Each structure stands twice: as structure tokens, then as C-alpha cells.
Structure 1
Amino acid sequence: MADLLTIQNLGNLVMLCFLQAVLGFDNLLYISIESQRAPVAHQKSVRFWGIILAVALRVVLLFTMIELIDALSEPFWVFNQPGLIEGGVNFATCIFIIGGIFIIYTAVKEIGHMLSIEHLDADVSNKGGKSAAQVVTLIVLMNLIFSFDSILSALAITDVFPILAAAILISGGAMLLLADGVTRFLEKNRMYEVLGLFILLIVGVVLLGESGQAAAHAMHDDSLALKFFGYEVIPMSKTTFYFSVLVLFAVEIIQSGYSRKLNAERASHARH
């Protein structure tokens, strides 16, 4: 126990908690949006149990990855068709591709649903289109996919399992505290749900970009980076991602303020 309570481990714990907070924003957003698809009476319990199960499985995934990191990082297929497709494919590559495609599909489907409704009340009444068990399962699965890059990043900081597990548990507690508040905000400001879906769309693109470098980073061999038609699949930097999110928020806030101003002027003209 005394070996764990060192300045270095405490510093790593603080760094890991910050990392989990930054990388967990998109995860929390997904949980808040997806939980609204469950029956209204079960939405709070869905968020609670979804996060609890996801955090527990994330700790299990962390332990598994520490034990099997070499087996998971080894490419099981290497493409060698110059000008068409080149590079290695490992477990992480598959996770990022499947997760990215699924998140993009979910975001596009929900955006299409919003465009197809005729009355907002009808959309609210159809929020419970999935059972609570289905939503919990989706939250748990997507949490594991979201957590893959954060676990890989965490392992680059330290391989001390108790420190890594503590950071995951602390981040899970923060999600439990914030999930209901984020959901209530989206319910009261429904235009931000559209914004959230577009952010998820960008997250899907980020995950697809990460797939290109997964095998190369694991094996420290740039020749294993995925290339399509001679172009390397390059991941989007976290700085670019969060800058894009800030721009989307700024546009939404400015547009909302401008719309309120126009509506106020129109109401004033109508009265006169």
C-alpha cells in the first residue's frame, strides 16, 4: 500500500482523472441522448445502471488489456496492395472502425428522425421507442468503445493497475453526478440535442481516423498505418476536435440569440 502512495503515483492519478474527464465528454453526451430513447419512467435508472455497468466493464477491460496488450496489438492482417489499400489491421483497428461507423449511423439516423417529424409533441411521445434493457446495453457497449482510446492513452502514462482503476472509478462517479443534469439541459433546450448529434457525428469521424494509426502505434512501425488509394488515414487531433465543438457551440449560441432578437422585433412590429 505504501508503494502506491507516492508523489509520482498521485501525480499520475491527477493526470489520469483529467484525461478521463476530457476524453469522457463525448461519452457523457451519448449517454444523455441515448437514455432519452428509453421509457420516460425508466430513464434515470437507465443512466444509473448503464454507467455503473459500463464503469465495471471498463475496469475489466483495463485489466484484460494490461494482461494481453501484446496479443491485442499484433496485426492479424496486413494489406499490401499499393495504390489501393495498405497497412495493418489489429484488434484496436476493428474496434475503432466498428465504433465509428455505428456512432455515425446513430447520429445520422436521429438527425433524419428529427427532420421527418411534423409535431414536436409527437417526437417527445416517441422518445420511449426502445426498452430500458436495450438502451442500457447500448450505453454499456458504446462506453467500452469510447473508453478504448482513453485506456490506451492511460496506459501510456502508467501501468499501475490500482492507479488506473481509481481514475476510472472517479470518472464514473463524475458521470453519475453530471448525467441527469446534462439530460435535463437537453430536454429544456432541445435545439442543443441537434448540436449534440452533430458532435457525435464528428466523434464517429475521429474514431475512424484513429483506426488508421492503431496498428502502427502499437507496433511502432509507420509502414503498418492504413492507406487508401495512396492516402494515409490520419487521426484528428484532440485540439482540432474540441475546437470544432467550441465553434459549433458558438454558432448555436449566436444563432439562438439572433433568432430571439428577430422574434422580438417581429412581435413589436405586429403590436404596432
Structure 2
Amino acid sequence: MDYILALLSDPAAWAALVTLIAMEIVLGIDNLIFISILTNKLPEDQRARARRMGIGGALILRLGLLGTVAIIVQLTDPVFTAFGHGFSWRDLILIAGGLFLVWKATKEIHHNVDPDPGPDMFEGGRSIGFSAAILQILLLDLVFSVDSIITAVGMTDHVPIMVVAVLVTVGVMLLAADPLANFIADNPTIVMLALGFLLMIGTTLIADGFGVHVPKGYIYAAMAFSALVEVLNILGRRARRRRGEPRPHAER
């Protein structure tokens, strides 16, 4: 109890908490975009439950990983060297997660561009099963959770601060999940933009796994700019519909 009271009276601890919450929320955007796109492929009556289960899984994984902070820290130690780079378990997890994201986003883009692609490596329908969706969400939850906890460990040594930051972040994700998923579902062009984001995030995870660090600020600045441009396009289309103007040739 004395330890908690000392943290509550320490301005540096509050500053670390606010900074960590902001960082965790930004990192959670990637996770939330994937969950939104994947759950939108489920029957409508299953979507909200799948989102809650997926985000709940992220909470359980992150709290579980916090309980093994000493082991998580060791995940950054190299286990073998190849191509002049020492690969750690964290690197391998990021590379595997990045490859999965790139594959999944490419598959979804393929189906959006060509709804009837015929039998090939991307064979499959537009809909997926509930269990398959939850499994894929949990796999990506693991990747993002490991990255999130390692980031948290690098910012503070106090586990209670990490726990509070995780709880706040997951709470924000729960609040934002349905509005974000509904917005993506109601605006088809947003789907392609979000899939582009997943491609970029997956590529960044792979690069990070190979030791090429891309500052997160650049990634999220590019995502925010692209999202702003798309929002302006949506507002422009709505304004033209209200005025009864025909769509531009590029939109037909």
C-alpha cells in the first residue's frame, strides 16, 4: 500500500502514466483497425460480440504478459544471428505478425477488387466463421500485446502504472470499436484505406523485426493525413448528393 501511495504522490509517475496511456492508445489503433475489418465480415448479430471477445482477449494477454515482465524483457535478447543481424524472439514475433497482416490485407484487397477471383491462393468466401475470426484476432492480439508491453517496460519500471495504462487503453478500444467498425462498414472506400493501413503496419512490423526501425510518428502522421483526405472526400460526396449533382466520372 505504501508503494501505491508513493506512486500517487509522485508527479513523475503521473507524467509517465499519461505518456504511456497516449502511447498505448496510438499502438492500439492498429489492433482496432484489424478487429473492425475482420468482424465486419461476420453476420451482423455476431459482430459486437466478436469485437468484445477480441478486445477482451487483448486485455487478458496484456495483463498476463505484465505478470511475466522479466521474461518479456528477455525476449529482446538475440537468440541467433543471420544476415549480420541478431534476431530475438520479439523480432521473430513481429516478423510473423507482419507477414500475417500483409497476407491478410492483400487477400482482402484482392477480394474487394475482384469479387469473383476463381480458385487461387486467395480462394475463399467473403464471410468467415466466428471461431476463425476470434482465432485470427487473438493471434494479432499476441503480436500487438508483446510490442505494447515491451514499449511499456521501456517507458517505466512501475508495473501498477503499466496495468492502469493497459486498462485505460482497452477501455478506449471497447468504446471506439463499434463506432469505428460501423463507420468502416458504412463507407466502402474507407475499407480500402484501412486495408492500406494494415499493409503499411504489417510492412513496418517486418522492418522492425529485421532491425530497421521506422519512427511511429511518421507512420501515424501518414495514416492521419490519408484519413483526413478520405473524410474530405466523404463530405464532398455528401454535399453533392444534397445538391443533387451527378457524381464525377472517377466515382462512377
Residue in structure 1 matched with residue 78 of structure 2 by the alignment: 75
Please tell me whether the aligned partners of residues 27 and 143 of structure 1 are also in contact (alpha carbons under 8 angstroms): yes
What are the residue-to-residue correspondences of 1:135-146 with 2, within 5 Å? 135-146=133-144
Q: Could you tell me how far apart the structure 2 residues matched to 1:37 and 1:169 are?
A: 27
Residue in structure 2 matched with residue 51 of structure 1 by the alignment: 55
The equivalent position to 2:178 in structure 1, one of 153, 177, 180, is 180
Deviations along 1:37-96, whole A, 9 cap, x unmatched?
A: 2232211111111111221111112222x12145422211112xxxxx211111011011
Percent of residue pairs bearing the same amino acid type: 31
TM-score by length of 1: 0.78
What are the residue-to-residue correspondences of 1:232-271 with 2, within 5 Å? 234-256=212-234, 265-266=245-246
Residue in structure 2 matched with residue 6 of structure 1 by the alignment: 9
Please tell me whether the aligned partners of residues 93 and 211 of structure 1 are also in contact (alpha carbons under 8 angstroms): yes
Q: Which amino acid aligns with 1:198?
A: G
Q: Could you tell me how far apart the structure 1 residues matched to 2:56 and 2:40 are?
A: 18
Q: 1:266 to 1:9 in 2, by over 3 A?
A: closer
Q: Could you tell me how far apart the structure 2 residues matched to 1:69 and 1:132 are?
A: 30
Instruction: Structure 1: state its 5+ residue gaps.
Output: 80-84, 119-125, 214-233, 268-272
Please tell me whether the aligned partners of residues 101 and 208 of structure 1 are also in contact (alpha carbons under 8 angstroms): yes
Q: Could you tell me how far apart the structure 2 residues matched to 1:27 and 1:46 are?
A: 14
Q: Which amino acid aligns with 2:129?
A: S
Moved more, 238-247 or 44-53: 238-247
Q: Which amino acid aligns with 2:37?
A: I
Q: Which amino acid aligns with 1:2?
A: D
Q: Could you tell me how far apart the structure 2 residues matched to 1:132 and 1:51 are?
A: 15
Q: 1:152 to 1:44 in 2, by over 3 A?
A: same
Residue in structure 2 matched with residue 190 of structure 1 by the alignment: 188
The equivalent position to 1:110 in structure 2, one of 108, 111, 118, is 108
Residue in structure 1 matched with residue 162 of structure 2 by the alignment: 164
Q: 1:9 to 1:151 in 2, by over 3 A?
A: same
Please tell me whether the aligned partners of residues 36 and 181 of structure 2 are also in contact (alpha carbons under 8 angstroms): yes
Please tell me whether the aligned partners of residues 73 and 150 of structure 2 are also in contact (alpha carbons under 8 angstroms): no
Q: 1:176 to 1:253 in 2, by over 3 A?
A: closer
Q: Could you tell me how far apart the structure 2 residues matched to 1:175 and 1:266 are?
A: 38
TM-score by length of 2: 0.84
Q: Could you tell me how far apart the structure 2 residues matched to 1:260 and 1:36 are?
A: 23
Shift of 1:262: 7.8
Alignment RMSD (CA, Å): 2.2
Deviations along 1:180-223, whole A, 9 cap, x unmatched?
A: 1111111111211111000111101110121123xxxxxxxxxx
What are the residue-to-residue correspondences of 1:118-133 with 2, within 5 Å? 127=126, 129-133=127-131
Deviations along 1:229-252, whole A, 9 cap, x unmatched?
A: xxxxx2221121012112322442
Shift of 1:173: 1.1
User: Which structure has the greater CA radius of gyration?
Assistant: 1
The equivalent position to 1:29 in structure 2, one of 29, 33, 43, is 33
Residue in structure 1 matched with residue 119 of structure 2 by the alignment: none
Moved more, 27-36 or 8-17: 8-17
Residue in structure 1 matched with residue 146 of structure 2 by the alignment: 148
Please tell me whether the aligned partners of residues 16 and 167 of structure 1 are also in contact (alpha carbons under 8 angstroms): yes
Please tell me whether the aligned partners of residues 39 and 47 of structure 2 are also in contact (alpha carbons under 8 angstroms): yes
Q: Could you tell me how far apart the structure 2 residues matched to 1:53 and 1:101 are?
A: 21
Shift of 1:150: 2.2
Q: Could you tell me how far apart the structure 2 residues matched to 1:70 and 1:265 are?
A: 59
The alignment of Structure 1 onto Structure 2 pairs a total of residues equal to 233
Q: 1:70 to 1:156 in 2, by over 3 A?
A: closer
